[in-house]
Amino acid sequence: DTAVSQTPKYLVTQMGNDKSIKCEQNLGHDTMYWYKQDSKKFLKIMFSYNNKELIINETVPNRFSPKSPDKAHLNLHINSLELGDSAVYFCASSKRTEQETQYFGPGTRLLVL
């Protein structure tokens, strides 16, 4: 009965490859997010979807493309991976109303060699 799940948990890949991270939530939330945590532990929003519609698209290279097939799923595809993409990527979800907490997935640790 995991609330927000991500796969894979670890991802080690070579520069230039394309990879995807999947996220699923079973909380009945209508909004999902991708955050990036860098090597200094700083967390920053990347994207957000509400009912499959993109509502946040921060300054992220266009090599990163989110896709939301339905309200419960938000995937992140990364093309042409670079060394600087190495980070922990967190998926989160919430209801899009006031005072609603965002619940985070376990994170995907991406290492680009």
Q: Which stretch binds another protein (CB under 8 A): 11-19, 22-30, 40-48, 71-79?
A: 40-48
Nearer to another protein, 48 or 75 (CB): 48
**101 near another protein (CB under 8 A):** yes
Round to the nearest angstrom and report the end-to-end CA distance of the chain: 34
Site membership for another protein, residue 25 (CB under 8 A): no
Q: Is there binding between residue 35 and another protein (CB under 8 A)? A: yes
